[in-house]
């Protein structure tokens, strides 16, 4: 039996400033950095075999901040996109201290289009709370110039099934560190949440969702 851990990245600087991040690169805030130790305490005894994360700085920095507090474990980042993995070196003979960390755009946050960089409260005042909520949380309504959650699902879930589930079937414990909407898409798939109900799913900064994977089935645990 394997374990799957889904972690929303720690609080970033733009989260602190209440701005839409989307695909922009912004680092963790001091509060987010300090969260790393607490998450590490929850994970350090779990014998993590692999990590998957996105190309966004806040997600990769979350991985680094966690492993700062896990003794003798060091993430080795490998870009999976474009089939270029072997160009960067030989990754078949890593030590027991190295934790392979695969990076992919497929786990990026929803692309927020024209909203990226804008203050969320000011955006709500301009467009109305319900419209902004639909842009942010509904399944099939996109923000102006951005992605729907359905589009995020169509890139994140096939990647998850091809790579992460393969590792779970090989009985490896896997940590996925990603953004809110890519994780919401994956949870939708795992828990078979309907298109209508997914609007109610919220994962706070640093939320850690845990599943046991056995015989192709997921069981959530605390």
Tell which residue, 54, 75, 11, 50, has the closest CA to residue 175: 50
163 is annotated as an active-site residue: no
Task: Check residue 155 and report its DSSP letter.
Answer: H
109 is annotated as an active-site residue: yes
Distances (CA, A) of 45 to 26, 39, 70, 73, 125: 30, 11, 9, 11, 46
| Cα 2 to Cα 9: distance, rounded to the nearest angstrom | 22
| Cα 91 to Cα 142: distance, rounded to the nearest angstrom | 39
Cα 192 to chain centroid distance, Å, stands at 18
Kindly name the residue from 61, 109, 163, 180 that is annotated as catalytic.
109
Tell which residue, 16, 17, 30, 4, has the closest CA to residue 178: 4
Kindly name the residue from 9, 61, 147, 163 that is annotated as catalytic.
9
Residues 192 and 159: beta-carbon distance below 8 Å:
no
| Cα 104 to Cα 167: distance, rounded to the nearest angstrom | 16
Encoded tokens for 101: 């960390």
Tell which residue, 187, 114, 108, has the closest CA to residue 144: 114
- The residues that are catalytic are 9, 109
């Amino acid at each position: 039996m394997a374990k799957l851990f889904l972690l929303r990245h720690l609080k970033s600087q733009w989260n602190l400033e209440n701005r839409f991040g989307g695909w922009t690169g912004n680092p963790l805030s001091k509060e987010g950095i300090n969260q790393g130790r607490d998450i590490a305490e929850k994970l350090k005894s779990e014998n993590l075999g692999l990590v998957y994360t996105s190309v966004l700085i806040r997600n990769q920095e979350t991985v680094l901040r966690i492993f700062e507090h896990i003794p003798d474990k060091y993430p080795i980042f490998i870009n999976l996109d474009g089939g270029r993995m072997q160009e960067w070196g030989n990754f078949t003979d890593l030590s027991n201290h190295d934790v392979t960390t695969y990076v992919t755009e497929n786990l990026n946050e929803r692309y927020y289009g024209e909203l990226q960089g804008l203050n969320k409260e000011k955006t709500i005042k301009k467009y109305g709370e319900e419209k902004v909520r639909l842009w942010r949380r509904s399944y099939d309504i996109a923000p102006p110039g951005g992605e729907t959650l359905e589009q995020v699902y169509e890139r994140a879930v096939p990647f998850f099934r091809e790579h992460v589930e393969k590792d779970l079937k090989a009985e490896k414990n896997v940590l996925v560190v990603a953004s809110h909407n890519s994780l919401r898409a994956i949870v939708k798939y795992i828990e078979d949440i309907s298109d209508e109900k997914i609007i109610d799913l919220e994962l706070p900064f640093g939320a850690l969702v845990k599943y046991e994977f056995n015989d192709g089935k997921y069981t959530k645990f605390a």
